[in-house]
């Protein structure tokens, strides 16, 4: 453990100093990505798009899985809201409860995905099941198949479905490079999974084959208003890529609109980034409120200093997310919704 990790673990660096450094790195990121002006920005975008379209659908799947989804479920039960929605929630105001914000976004997701009772629905990247379980409860005559890359998530969702008496939900453990199905669906929905992918042309091509004619794909992703860039570890400032988002990317709001060979855009929404900033701040507050019990949870499989360092990193992760999405009052990094349709 280096000296910086020791200071972070012990809480000797004030949150204000950490947030100041986060904002400095955000400004640095923008300077780097905008360097050279409009032509250079577009040239980098075209080069990245060409590179990613020749590679696998996703990279570093195991690292990303370990960083987020193989953490004990009890951690997320303490930190997230009661629906365990590990993605942006909808806040009508900053004082709204996390539970209400979870429900508001789940409801908005179903409306924008044009979900109806009796449909067959495929969810890609179901997380801890917030949307899967919500759909199963609110559309009891629908048949829902949800795909997760985590065994722990599958077991958790299956236990919740059993406890709630839901028999219309099937959970599969697969990564998106390997997932295939011979079934077709009325709807495919995905919330904050596309950011972990790289070859979206190939992914959307596969999804189009899983949709019935006139079937629809709804995608919820976080975005930058115009920049597309990967999370890569180039130096010690690339903290997010190293510990929490290996192999991930920040797509631009217009990025997915490039992929309309097999699916056509039907509607497109932008959400102010403050929704995600408030979500992240709520997660941080929950972590702090349950710090001692979470330290004991982590210490069951590691030393006390290691547990303290892990929690310190999660605190910085939530602060990083909050500062990113509140940058310029939520108008720089945002959240985007898309609804595509498969033609006849």
CATH number, position 51? 3.40.50.150
Residue 182, strand partner residues: none
Domain count, the chain: 1
**What letter does residue 194 receive in the DSSP assignment?**
G
Q: What is the 3-state secondary structure (H, E, C) of 207-261?
A: HHHHEEEEEEEEEEEEEECCCCEECCCCCCCCHHHHHCCCCCEECECCHHHHCCC
Supply the pLDDT for residue 1. 55
Q: Is the Cβ–Cβ distance between 77 and 130 less than 8 Å? A: no
The parts of the chain modelled with pLDDT lower than 50 are none
Contact call for residues 184 and 157 (beta carbons, < 8 A) = no
Cα dihedral value 334, 278, 329, 337, nearest 10: 20
Report phi then psi at 144, rounded to 5. -115, 130
pLDDT for 66:
58
Torsion sign (Cα): 170, 173, 177, 182: negative
Q: How many whole angstroms separate alpha carbon 275 and alpha carbon 180?
A: 34
pLDDT at position 70, please? 57
Structure tokens at 215: 């079937």
DSSP codes of every residue in 130-181: HHHHHHHHH-TTSEEEEEES-HHHHHHHHHHHHHTT--SEEEEE--TTT---
Residue 237 pLDDT: 64
First to last CA, the chain: 58
User: Do residues 149 and 69 make contact, with C-beta atoms less than 8 angstroms apart?
Assistant: yes
Q: State how far the Cα of 47 lies from the Cα of 197, in Å rounded to an integer.
A: 17
* 86: containing domain: 3-341
pLDDT value, residue 254: 98
The pLDDT of residue 277 is 99
Q: Cα separation of 15 and 22, whole Å?
A: 10
Return the pLDDT at 186.
99
Q: Is the dihedral of CA 89, 90, 94, 96 positive or negative?
A: negative
Contact between residue 67 and residue 243 where contact means Cβ atoms under 8 Å apart: yes
pLDDT tens digits along 80-98: 999 999 999 999 999 999 9
């Amino acid at each position: 453990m280096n000296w910086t990790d020791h200071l972070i673990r012990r809480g000797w660096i004030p949150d204000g100093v950490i947030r100041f450094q986060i904002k400095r790195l955000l400004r640095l990121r923008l300077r780097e990505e905008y360097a050279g002006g409009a032509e250079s920005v577009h040239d980098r975008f075209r080069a990245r798009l060409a590179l990613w379209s020749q590679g696998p659908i996703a990279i570093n799947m195991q690292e990303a899985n370990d960083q987020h989804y193989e953490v004990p479920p009890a951690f997320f039960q303490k930190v997230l809201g009661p629906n365990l929605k590990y993605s942006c929630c909808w806040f009508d105001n900053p004082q709204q409860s996390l539970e209400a914000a979870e429900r508001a976004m789940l409801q908005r997701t179903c409306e924008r995905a044009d979900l109806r009772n009796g449909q067959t629905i495929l969810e890609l990247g179901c997380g801890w099941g917030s949307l899967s379980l919500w759909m199963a409860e609110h559309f009891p005559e629908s048949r829902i198949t949800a795909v997760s890359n985590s065994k722990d998530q599958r077991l958790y969702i299956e236990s919740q479905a059993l406890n709630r008496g839901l028999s219309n939900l099937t959970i599969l453990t697969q990564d998106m490079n390997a997932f295939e199905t011979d079934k077709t669906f009325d709807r495919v929905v995905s919330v904050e999974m596309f950011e972990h992918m790289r070859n979206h042309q190939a992914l959307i091509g596969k999804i189009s084959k899983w949709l019935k004619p006139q079937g629809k794909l709804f995608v919820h992703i976080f975005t930058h208003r115009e920049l597309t860039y990967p999370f890569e570890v180039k130096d010690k400032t690339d903290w997010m890529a190293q510990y929490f988002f290996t192999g991930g990317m920040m797509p631009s709001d217009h990025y997915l609109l490039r992929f309309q060979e097999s699916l056509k855009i039907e509607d497109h929404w932008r959400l102010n980034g403050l929704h995600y900033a408030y979500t992240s701040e709520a997660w941080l507050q929950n972590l702090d409120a349950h710090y001692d019990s979470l330290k004991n949870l982590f210490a069951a499989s590691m030393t006390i200093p290691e547990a303290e360092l892990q929690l310190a990193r999660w605190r910085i992760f939530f602060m990083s997310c909050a500062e990113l999405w509140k940058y310029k009052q939520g108008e720089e990094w945002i959240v985007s919704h898309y609804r595509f349709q498969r033609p006849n």
